[in-house]
Amino acid sequence: MLFTIASRELRNLFLSPLAWAIMAVLQLILAYLFLTQVDTYMTLQPRLAGVEGAPGVTDIVVAPLLQTVGFLFMLIAPAITMRVFSDEKRNRTLSLLLSAPVSMSDIVLGKFLGVTLFFLLLLIMLAAMPLSLYAGTSLDSGKLAAGLLGLALLLSSFAAIGVFMSSLTEQPVVAAISTFGLLLLLWIIDWSGNSKEQVASLFAYLSLQTHLTSFLKGLFSTTDVAYYLLLTTLFLVLGIRRLDQQRLTG
């Protein structure tokens, strides 16, 4: 049942031009960044050749690129997730799901899965760029894999947050803006130069970005994995609760 809803959600995305437009724009921007990054590497390469333990092509080209992918997804994720529930509420189609023999968690998880699959599809397309470097050079596969895994986790938390926000309102735009607001807040939360050590480390822990950075360094730490999984689970549970509670309040 989960997969029925997920596949419907995924296909729905491709029925509107929005998904295609986002794919095209994202691909274009990242291709440009990728080429600039490769260009930078080409100019740096002769100087780096002599240095012991110098950063390789993975550090100079791939890591910044993936960092940008994460940032760009923060901008586009709200546009994808905004319709998930608010559209259904607005068009009063939610009752189809509510009167079908499916549980609330199936509905929320199905929607989440559909959106996440779309994000992963985008990620795979974007990963083709750094992977193309294999044609001419060798990459640090471990670092690349860690980076992609980190991004996949980041995107699933984006999807969970977006799905929850969409369940709060009938207005897709409101859902998009509040999703974006929350994502941005979680992205920059560690920027505050708080002098207190403990507060600063708490904010750093809460930040979406710091955890991604460690993945991009090739660091696979359970703390980071747990952070994204907790965040995703939290918002999925909130989404299920929200849908349940709506049956009570009407």
Partner 1 sequence: MDTKILIGVEQLYRYYGHYLAVDGIGFELAQGEVLGFLGPNGAGKSTTMQMITGNLAPSAGRIAIKGIDLLDRPRQAKAEIGYLPEHPPLYPDLTVDEYLSYCARLHRVSPAKRGQAVARALQRCGLGAVGKRLIGNLSKGFQQRVGIAQAILHNPAVVILDEPTVGLDPNQIREIRALIRELGETHGIILSTHILPEVQATCSRVQIIHRGRLVFSESMETLRQRFIGKALTVETARPLDIAVLQQIDGVTAAELLGANRARLHFDAANPADRVAACVASQAWGLVELALDRQTLEQVFVELTCSEETGPTVEAA
Binding site for partner 1 (CB under 8 A): 1, 4-5, 8, 12, 15-16, 91-103, 247-248, 250
Q: Which is nearer to partner 1, 90 or 217 (CB)?
A: 90
Write out the two tokens for 150: 């980190």
Report in angstroms how near the CB of residue 170 gets to partner 1 at its nearest. Answer: 13
Report in angstroms how near the CB of residue 81 gets to partner 1 at its nearest. Answer: 18
Write out the two tokens for 56: 């390789």
Q: Which is nearer to partner 1, 42 or 100 (CB)?
A: 100
Report in angstroms how near the CB of residue 218 gets to partner 1 at its nearest. Answer: 42
d(CA 232, CA 192): 24
For the residues of 64-117, what is the DSSP string, one character each? HHHHHHHHHHHHHHHHHHTHHHHHHHHTT-HHHHHHSS--HHHHHHHHHHHHHH
Report in angstroms how near the CB of residue 4 gets to partner 1 at its nearest. Answer: 4
Q: Which is nearer to partner 1, 30 or 115 (CB)?
A: 115
Q: Which is nearer to partner 1, 105 or 213 (CB)?
A: 105
Nearest alpha carbon to residue 178 among 81, 88, 243, 104 = 81
Q: How many CB atoms lie within 10 A of CB 197?
A: 8
Q: Which is nearer to partner 1, 69 or 107 (CB)?
A: 107
Give Cβ neighbours of residue 239 (< 8 Å, ≥ 6 apart): 108, 112, 160, 163, 164, 167
Report in angstroms how near the CB of residue 92 gets to partner 1 at its nearest. Answer: 4
